[in-house]
Amino acid sequence: MVEKDIQILLVEDEPSLLAGLLLNLQLEGYKVTAAPNGQLALSQLKKQKFDLIILDLMLPDLNGMEILTKIREKGNFTPVLILSAMDEVETKVEGLTLGADDYMTKPFELKELYARVHAILRRHNGDIRVISFGDVKVFTEERRVEKNGKTVHLTPLEYDLLVFFIKNPNRAFSREAILDNNWPPGSDATVRTVDNFIVTLRKKVDDHRRPRHFITVRGLGYRFTS
């Protein structure tokens, strides 16, 4: 069964394939946004968050590798499944090196596509019920956090920001990238807002005097280490 409200961005320029994938993924229970070219895909990514991007490489404007590079450079680590007729080993290696989570070649079987989509979402969203770091435990199904066995009260956004960092360990994020990945488009939050949230998380789940987990990256932003 598909988890409710899984959002997929489908980037594909071949009309019949786009229509077929759109219909079949929707029938599987996914919410799908179609983008027939690279510029529209980038525009959609600015407007909303997605749980998965299915990305063709041969597009009429930007190619898929350029799109993948741009979104990763902006600190967007939404899972990406490349779906392409290009089956050369070098191309597959390039895509995975640039940050794709999987690579499928056309033609393909729908059952395999569904299985790969499910596997990527399972890895990213986690079937892990409890995530631990230091003396902190995060119970993902209950959206509950404990430190030294005592419940830590986090706001929904504080919790989401904590999980964002946990899922992206040891990666340095600019304040702007943190904003883009955790606050909705049009929010009046600023880089100072990010700083304030980090201070709060340090107080609640870290040591705000000598942080061990939320590390300041001078001139850039922050990274999380377990």
| Signed CA dihedral, 19, 25, 27, 29: sign only | negative
Picking from 71, 98, 125, the residue at the C-terminal end of a domain is 125
For residue range 120-132, what is the model confidence (pLDDT) as tens digits?
887 776 555 678 8
20 shares its domain with 97: yes
pTM of the model: 0.61
Picking from 82, 101, 125, the residue at the C-terminal end of a domain is 125
- Per-residue pLDDT, 4: 52
Tokens of 90: 């070098």
Integer Cα distance of 209 and 202 in angstroms: 8
On whether the CB atoms of residues 49 and 57 are closer than 8 A, the answer is: no
Kindly state whether residue 1 falls inside one of the protein's structural domains. no
- Per-residue pLDDT, 203: 95
CATH number at residue 107: 3.40.50.2300
15 shares its domain with 109: yes
Cα–Cα distances in angstroms (integers) from residue 55 to residues 9, 39, 68, 218, 223, in the given order: 8, 13, 9, 34, 28
103 shares its domain with 151: no
- Per-residue pLDDT, 1: 43
12 shares its domain with 111: yes
- Per-residue pLDDT, 98: 87
95 shares its domain with 156: no
Kindly state whether residue 2 falls inside one of the protein's structural domains. no
192, exposed or middle or buried, with CB in 10 Å at 0-12, 13-18, 19+? exposed
Q: Which domain holds residue 114?
A: 7-125
Which stretches in the chain have pLDDT values below 70? 1-4, 125-129
154 shares its domain with 108: no
27 shares its domain with 77: yes
**Largest interatomic CA distance in the chain:** 58
Cis, bond preceding 185 (omega within 30 deg of 0): no
- Per-residue pLDDT, 119: 85
> In which order are the strands placed within the sheet that holds 144-147?
130-133, 136-139, 144-147, 150-152
Q: What share of the chain is helix, strand, coil (3-state, %, to 5)?
A: 40, 20, 35
18 shares its domain with 106: yes
- Which of 21, 83, 66, 74 shows the shortest CA–CA distance to 46? 74
- Per-residue pLDDT, 16: 94
**How many structural domains comprise the chain?**
2
Tokens of 53: 């991007």
Distance, C-alpha 209 to centroid of its chain: 30
Kindly state whether residue 45 falls inside one of the protein's structural domains. yes
Q: Which ranges constitute the DSSP H helices of the chain?
A: 15-27, 38-47, 64-73, 89-98, 110-125, 156-167, 175-182, 191-205
The strand pairing partners of 152, in sequence order, are 145
Kindly state whether residue 140 falls inside one of the protein's structural domains. yes
CATH number at residue 200: 1.10.10.10
Integer Cα distance of 59 and 79 in angstroms: 19
Kindly state whether residue 51 falls inside one of the protein's structural domains. yes
115 shares its domain with 138: no
174 shares its domain with 214: yes
40 shares its domain with 114: yes
111 shares its domain with 154: no
- Per-residue pLDDT, 53: 96
- Per-residue pLDDT, 125: 67
Picking from 125, 147, 165, the residue at the C-terminal end of a domain is 125
- Which of 54, 118, 60, 62 shows the shortest CA–CA distance to 81? 54
